[in-house]
Amino acid sequence: MGVKTAVLISGRGSNLKALIDAAQGNPGYPAEIACVISNKPDAPGLFMARKAGIHAIGLNHRDYKDRKAFEDAIQALLEKYECELVVLAGFMRLLTPEFTARWYGKMINIHPSLLPSFKGAYAHRDALASGVCISGCTVHFVSPEMDAGPIILQAAVPVLEEDTESSLAARVLVQEHRCLPYALKLLAEGRLHIKGMKVEINPATVHTAPPALLNPPLEME
């Protein structure tokens, strides 16, 4: 069995599915999805988790007097299921500095932009409005400041002239499904080390640097 991991969601669980597929479809995957928690009891991702045989719990944040009480309930579940790592996969609630400090270095998030650009809930809208030619996604450690923790992994995709928020989001989501399971794998293997605002991977991955992504492509000279 792998390192017990909790996944926090708020919606359909698209990235959750990628994590479940990685954890249950690869015998050597180093993390086990021990529980899924949502602040929306009717979140489709909860039904997906239950179908996969995973403990899935809905905690309506509106039922708690404040954020601390809500997070205390989350913490109780993390302890109940003996979770050592936490993944935020479309979890649309801000966490308190106290909770993020407790889990710092053990909690990661996926964000649909190339951070530090376009933080917040409207990343695709903001990217399109800015006129950037390249967007993407980022997996990072969670820190008290929103979408600002040390970056683990990023993937870039071109922004096309005809893009809408939904078409750009779909293209970025394909890369999210690749990046998040890989980042969790590295974390569960104990290979990620935070050095200030940088993340070192030990041992370092061996690869050949890919060619630059140019958008629009250069015309032939």
Give catalytic residues, as residue numbers: 111
Give the Cβ contact number of residue 60 at 10 Å. 12
User: Which helix H or strand E contains 70, and what residues bound it?
Assistant: helix 67-80
CB-based contact 135:168 (threshold 8 Å): yes
Contacts of 1 (CB under 8 A, 6+ apart): 32
Residue 203: CB atoms within 10 Å: 6
CA R_g for the chain: 18
CA atoms within 13 A on the CB side of 218: 5
| Residues 78, 84, 85, 91, Cα dihedral to 10° | 0
SS3 call for 109: strand
- For the chain, how many residues are written? 221
Are residues 8 and 38 in contact, defined by beta-carbon separation less than 8 angstroms?
yes
- Helices vs strands, H then E, count in the chain: 6, 9
Question: Which residue has tokens 């017990």?
Answer: 4
